[in-house]
Amino acid sequence: MIPKLKNLLKRSGFLVGVVRASREGLLDVRKIYGFMTRRRKIRSYLHSNQLKKLQLGTSNSPMVGWLNTDVLPTSRKVAYLDATRRFPFNNDVFDYVYSEHMIEHIEHERAVFMLRECFRVLKPGGKIRISTPDLKVYTGLHSKEKTASQKFYIDWVIQNLMPEVDYCEEVFLINNAFRAWGHQFLYDRETLRATMARAGFEDIKYHQPGVSDDENLRGIELHGCLLECEEVNQFEAFAVEGRTPNPKK
């Protein structure tokens, strides 16, 4: 009787709506609290740091020496910031802007706006680094002949994230990459480069996660730690860096 009752309650549109509304209400409370406290956090950071570095979409990976921000702050170390709206900063404030596995979670049009805001708040000669999954990696998994790295990646994802899949694994994996975790738009290297160039960035270069010619941008990717498998992160993701002109156009 009890299992049947539970199944019935799960199919109740009213109860499902109440649960969803409660969850969204809690998220709204977090956003409101974050909005009310962010001015103090921003002022404190800008006053305390000579080299100014902004991280967007921090999630659970705050970094020392950075102004860590997120639309849903996870701790007091993270300031509220919706990267799809005008940033709460004057022009030419930051030396660096960084985001990891964040840009793919917003629609392309909003990502264009975000990059233009990054350009605006960066100083002349300031640098941006974006790390994101590579669309070309995912589509390459559908090839008939697979490399050892592709086979390892497919096996790891299926075993750790999709254990219920027992046939046509790469098809399920590719679909999952587009639909899971709130992904909105996946980039290959050429598309992200072109999008950054349209926002005004120059000297655009590709890197593997953790690799950079700039010591302030080297070794800052943490997604591999969250996955507990750096090999997976190195396979599926890439980083791209650009800088603002000096002087800015």
CATH number listed for the domain at residues 83-243: 3.40.50
Amino acid residing at 213:
D
pTM score: 0.88
One pLDDT digit (tens) per residue for the chain, 249 residues: 466 555 554 555 654 454 454 555 555 566 665 666 789 999 999 999 999 999 999 999 999 999 999 999 988 899 999 999 999 999 999 999 999 999 999 999 999 999 999 999 999 999 999 999 999 999 999 999 999 999 999 999 999 999 999 999 999 999 999 999 999 999 999 999 999 999 999 999 999 999 999 999 999 999 999 999 999 999 999 999 999 999 887
Strand order of the β-sheet with 94-100 is 79-80, 67-70, 53-56, 94-100, 122-133, 237-243, 202-207
Residues with Cβ within 8 Å of residue 123, at least 6 apart in sequence: 92, 93, 94, 95, 244
Per-domain boundaries in the chain: 83-243
d(CA 118, CA 6): 48
d(CA 80, CA 34): 5
